Amino acid sequence: MGRRLRLVALLGVFALAACEGADIEYEYPQSGPGGRPTYEKDEKIFGDDGFVLFGEDNDDQQQAALGSGIAVNSFLWRASLDTISFMPLASADPFGGVIITDWYSPPDTPSERFKINIFILDRALRSDGVRAKVFKQRLGAEGQWQDMGTQEKLHRDLEDAILTRARQLRIGSTGN
């Protein structure tokens, strides 16, 4: 008899734990001014975050800054893609924070082509959280592409453009 009671108690605990993940929320209209229905969030007994039983902390602001589906800072990721949107992408890995473009020749100078590698190094929006590397090639007399050196200023300018765009995205997301 004692074994059966333990089994029922254990199954009851598992059943209650399974109910924790249900995120069903129904909204019912409430009567507002003039009898019009309004949809408002009800106040909760334990505040907006609710009651946390096992210490899980869902900080919405932190999740928004970090991005919910990618492992790098979402503002840096989107800013990087926006900044190099004119170039064809060869690879984009949001979990590793790596963006690699394919070779791109500007219409003004078809004998030159560029390739960019961007590495997002941090989950925080910081100036040292992004690294950019620009590769340049020039078409030689024999029809072969030859590597040309690029100045460090070009890498920094690209990083600054990404950081500026990330800042704009962050300011736009907070509504300030």
The residues spanned by each domain of the chain are 70-174
Q: What is the pLDDT of residue 122?
A: 87
Q: Is the pLDDT of residue 135 over 70?
A: yes
CA dihedral 88, 94, 97, 98 (to 10 degrees): -30
Q: What is the pLDDT of residue 3?
A: 86
Q: Return the CA Rg of the chain.
A: 26
What average pLDDT score do residues 37-54 get?
A: 58
**Rounded percentage of the chain residues whose pLDDT exceeds 70:** 69
CATH 3.30.530, applies to 70-174: yes
Q: What is the pLDDT of residue 69?
A: 62
Q: State both tokens at 161.
A: 């453009």
Q: Judge if pTM exceeds 0.75.
A: no
